[in-house]
């Protein structure tokens, strides 16, 4: 039967029309009022059941979680907070729900409990809102790049390369488990794997994207990425989605401009297109803040935070300046946090990043020109740096509450310098022959960045844990669904 989405019913301009709606029961009060949700909006539509003319057997089956179809008149609602309701003339139970056993009763659940029920948690208001915002953001990502003429490139999921050189790869085997080729000592013989080649799940599509940028000019990837992060943080997943634009003839400054413009565009798009969901998440967050001691409460509401990012230029600060700031800020006295940074050359920990963003600059920060030693092999070496203090044209974008949201760089376009760098790091030139070809045939300045999509969703929804912004999170000991 033809039915109308709850969102369209609530936005209707006509009353007293015959309508049909389908969805799931959120609550059923006084044997008369059903709050019906179909996922199209955060709002439920109230359905008023003519209980005198509805058989007892049907009333009994209207339980939380049940799938139902209602037909009746759309009329103005007398109740507060809603414009319309349905005066139900016909009610059909499409699928029963055992209310006794249904774990998503409309009361507040802990996020831990909801994670264990990842297949059902989307039936709560909060997760419905998060997943709609995620979907809109994902659309905005494509819209931004497509409008600018970027070509969407699907880089391989199974690959032989480790772009980051961090060794956080999941090995891929093409053979059945019990047929895995072994060495004489009984170890897995990876050289024999995947039809004779060692492969892994991609940690980044960058190297492949670079080869495409050097022909198509401006490209982007947006796909799943895998990292064997055997740690439990609220910012890391073993499977996450990454957006990676790569642009020929762009240097580091162009790269920063692109990243800032892109982030602002997609956040603005969500603010404009997810008003109801963000309002709901904002209220939820405000309730959470109230539980905290006064001193730890966030001064800004969710929408104020998003607008703050939209209205202000990201602070651009070199790594060297940042280290000086961190050294100066290191408290001598006893303090809750230690911002101590040992020496120039050390990698920043997320507490350092968050200090710079939240306490010092009070703004998103783009840190650039990192020490070469702590960054990947493919980054452009800065000219004229002191021996021992070499820096590369890298940038990280740091966000409040998140830390690193983007990592990017201008790439080393000079074949000889790149080969030299690979040699010092022990990276096999033969294995990356295809990557080096981009420097052999028409090399040019180019740059790009990677943005972890879930970190963006985390920021926009105001959630605190990355596990709560992806439908089925993959973390250590968590791959059940």
Contacting range for ligand ATP; rule: CB under 6 A; set: 47-55, 74-82, 234-242, 279-287: 234-242
Does 406 engage in binding with ligand ATP (CB under 6 A)?
A: yes
Residue 123 vs 235, nearer CB to ligand ATP:
235
Q: How many other β-carbons are positioned within 10 Å of the β-carbon of residue 463?
A: 24
Q: How many other β-carbons are positioned within 10 Å of the β-carbon of residue 457?
A: 23
User: CB–CB of 332/377 below 8 Å?
Assistant: no
User: CB–CB of 4/35 below 8 Å?
Assistant: no
CB of residue 402 vs Mg ion: minimum separation in angstroms? 12
Does 65 engage in binding with Mg ion (CB under 5 A)?
A: no
Q: Out of 205, 450, 462, 473, which residue is the one contacting ligand ATP (CB under 6 A)?
A: 450
Q: List the Cα angle 135/136/141 in 5-degree steps.
A: 100
Residue 230 vs 283, nearer CB to ligand ATP:
230
Cα–Cα distance, 89 to 341 (Å, whole number): 69
Contacting range for ligand ATP; rule: CB under 6 A; set: 57-65, 76-84, 117-125, 452-460: 452-460
Contacting range for ligand ATP; rule: CB under 6 A; set: 63-71, 183-191, 231-239, 288-296: 231-239
Rg (CA), the chain: 27
Partner that binds at residue 446, options ligand ATP, Mg ion, none, CB closer than 5 to 8 Å by kind: none
Which of 69, 75, 81 minimizes the C-alpha distance to 34? 69
Partner that binds at residue 451, options ligand ATP, Mg ion, none, CB closer than 5 to 8 Å by kind: ligand ATP
Residue 71 vs 465, nearer CB to Mg ion:
465
DSSP per-residue letters across 358-378: IIII-S-EEEEEEEGGGS-TT
Number of residues that bind Mg ion (CB under 5 A): 2
8-state DSSP, 62: -
Which of 162, 210, 226 minimizes the C-alpha distance to 427? 162
User: CB–CB of 326/359 below 8 Å?
Assistant: no
- Segments in 100-192 forming alpha helices (H): 111-116, 125-147
Does 451 engage in binding with ligand ATP (CB under 6 A)?
A: yes
Q: What is the layout of strands, in order, in the sheet containing 158-159?
A: 158-159, 199-201, 171-172
* Binding mask of the shown chain, residues 383 to 422, with x at each position contacting Mg ion by CB under 5 A: ---------------------x--x---------------
Contacting range for ligand ATP; rule: CB under 6 A; set: 51-59, 60-68, 233-241, 428-436: 233-241
Partner that binds at residue 86, options ligand ATP, Mg ion, none, CB closer than 5 to 8 Å by kind: none
Does 371 engage in binding with Mg ion (CB under 5 A)?
A: no
In the structure, how many helices (H) and strands (E) does the chain have? 14, 16
Partner that binds at residue 353, options ligand ATP, Mg ion, none, CB closer than 5 to 8 Å by kind: none
Does 240 engage in binding with ligand ATP (CB under 6 A)?
A: yes
Residue matched to tokens 């740690």: 231
Does 435 engage in binding with ligand ATP (CB under 6 A)?
A: no
Residue 21 vs 451, nearer CB to ligand ATP:
451
Burial 268-298 (b: 16+ CB within 10 A, else e): ebbbeebeebbebbbebbeeeeeeeeeeeeb
Does 407 engage in binding with ligand ATP (CB under 6 A)?
A: yes
Burial 38-50 (b: 16+ CB within 10 A, else e): bebbbbbbbbbbe
Residue matched to tokens 């350092």: 352
Partner that binds at residue 452, options ligand ATP, Mg ion, none, CB closer than 5 to 8 Å by kind: ligand ATP
Residue matched to tokens 């910012």: 235
Partner that binds at residue 473, options ligand ATP, Mg ion, none, CB closer than 5 to 8 Å by kind: none
Q: Out of 129, 131, 405, 457, which residue is the one contacting ligand ATP (CB under 6 A)?
A: 405
Residue 23 vs 407, nearer CB to Mg ion:
407
CB of residue 35 vs ligand ATP: minimum separation in angstroms? 35
Residue 49 vs 451, nearer CB to ligand ATP:
451
Does 454 engage in binding with ligand ATP (CB under 6 A)?
A: yes
Does 393 engage in binding with ligand ATP (CB under 6 A)?
A: no
Q: What residues contact residue 457 under an 8 Å CB cut-off, 6+ apart?
A: 130, 133, 134, 137, 463, 469, 470
Tokens of 461: 């929804």
Site of interaction with ligand ATP (CB under 6 A): 164, 227, 229, 235-237, 240, 242, 404-407, 450-452, 454-455
Site of interaction with Mg ion (CB under 5 A): 404, 407
């Amino acid at each position: 039967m033809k039915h109308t989405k709850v969102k369209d019913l609530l936005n209707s301009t006509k009353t007293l029309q015959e309508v049909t709606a389908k969805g799931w029961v959120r609550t059923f009060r006084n044997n008369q009022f059903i709050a019906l949700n179909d996922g199209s909006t955060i709002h439920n539509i109230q359905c008023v059941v003519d209980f005198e003319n509805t058989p007892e057997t049907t009333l009994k089956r209207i339980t939380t979680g049940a799938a139902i179809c209602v037909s009746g008149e759309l009329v103005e609602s007398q109740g507060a907070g809603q414009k319309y309701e349905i005066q139900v003339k016909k009610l059909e139970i499409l699928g029963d729900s055992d209310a006794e056993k249904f774990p998503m009763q409309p009361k507040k659940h802990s996020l831990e409990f909801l994670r264990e029920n990842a297949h059902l948690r989307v039936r709560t208001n909060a997760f419905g809102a998060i997943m709609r915002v995620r979907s809109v953001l994902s659309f905005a990502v494509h819209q931004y790049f497509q409008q600018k003429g970027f070509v969407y490139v699907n880089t391989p999921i199974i690959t032989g390369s480790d772009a980051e050189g961090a060794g956080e790869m999941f090995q891929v085997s093409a053979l059945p488990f019990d047929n895995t080729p072994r060495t004489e000592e009984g170890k897995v013989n990876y050289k024999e794997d995947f039809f004779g080649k060692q492969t892994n799940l991609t940690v980044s599509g960058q190297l492949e994207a670079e080869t495409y940028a050097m022909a198509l000019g401006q490209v982007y990837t947006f796909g799943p990425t895998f990292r064997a992060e055997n740690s439990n943080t609220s910012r890391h997943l073993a499977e996450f989605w990454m957006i990676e634009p790569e642009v020929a003839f762009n240097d580091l400054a162009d790269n920063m401009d692109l990243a800032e413009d892109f982030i602002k565009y997609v956040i603005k798009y969500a603010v404009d297109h997810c008003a109801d969901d963000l309002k709901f998440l904002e209220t939820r967050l405000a309730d959470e803040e109230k539980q905290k001691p006064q001193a730890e409460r966030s001064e800004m509401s969710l929408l104020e935070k998003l607008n703050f990012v939209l209205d202000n230029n990201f602070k651009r600060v070199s790594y060297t300046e940042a280290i000086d700031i961190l050294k100066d800020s290191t408290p001598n006295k006893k303090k809750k946090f230690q911002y101590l940074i040992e020496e120039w050359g050390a990698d920043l920990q997320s507490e350092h990043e968050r200090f710079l963003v939240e306490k010092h600059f009070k703004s998103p920060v783009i840190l650039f020109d990192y020490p070469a030693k702590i960054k990947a092999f493919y980054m452009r070496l800065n000219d004229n740096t002191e021996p021992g203090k070499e820096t590369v044209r890298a940038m990280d974008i740091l966000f409040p509450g998140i830390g690193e949201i983007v990592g990017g760089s201008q790439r080393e376009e000079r074949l000889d310098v790149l080969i030299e760098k690979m040699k010092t790091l022990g990276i096999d030139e033969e294995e990356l022959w295809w990557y080096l070809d981009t420097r052999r045939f028409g090399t040019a300045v180019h740059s790009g960045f990677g943005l972890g999509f879930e970190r963006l969703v985390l920021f926009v929804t105001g959630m605190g844990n990355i596990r709560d912004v992806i439908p089925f999170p993959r973390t250590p000991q968590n791959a059940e669904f």
